[in-house]
Amino acid sequence: MIDLLAQADTAVDGLKAVGAGLGYGLAAIGPGVGIGLVVGNAITAMARQPESAGMVRTTMFLGIAFTEALALIGFVVFILLNFA
């Protein structure tokens, strides 16, 4: 009986780790694509109009910051599941 309980405990720990890993991995997909789009289009804009590079760069960092937030929340969930 105690053996079984211990086994269930390890299984729960294992599932937690799997969930945390999957959670972070899934949370990173969208922002990865998103940041790629933001930076790619910013580079296109800078190449077309080098004189507006300053404005584009500022807006690009803003876009990255908003997009990246989702991945970072995924990372925080990972930390919480694994260590809290």
Partner 1 sequence: MIQPLYGLHFPPIAELLEWPGILFDGSIIELNKVGLIYLWAMAAPLVLFVLAIRRSALVPKGVQTVAESSVDFVRENVVMQTIGPDGMRFMPFLMSLFFFIFFANITEVIPFIQFPANSRMAAPAVLAIIVWLVFNAVGIKSQGFFQYFKNTVIPPGVPGALLPLVAVIEFVSTFLVRPFSLAVRLFANMLAGHLLLVTFAVLTTALWTPGPLAAIVWAPFVVLIGLTGFEILVAFLQAFIFTILTAVYIGGALHPEH
Residues that bind partner 1 in the complex, under the rule CB under 8 A = 13, 54-55, 58, 61-62, 64-65, 68-69, 72-73, 75-76, 79, 82-83
37 vs 61, beta carbon nearer partner 1: 61
Angstrom distances, CA of residue 25 to CA of 19, 31, 77: 10, 11, 11
Angstrom distances, CA of residue 80 to CA of 7, 59, 69, 73: 23, 32, 16, 10
Beta-carbon contacts of 32 under 8 Å, excluding residues fewer than 6 positions away, are 71
1 vs 52, beta carbon nearer partner 1: 52
8 vs 62, beta carbon nearer partner 1: 62
- Shortest Å distance, C-beta 76 to partner 1: 5
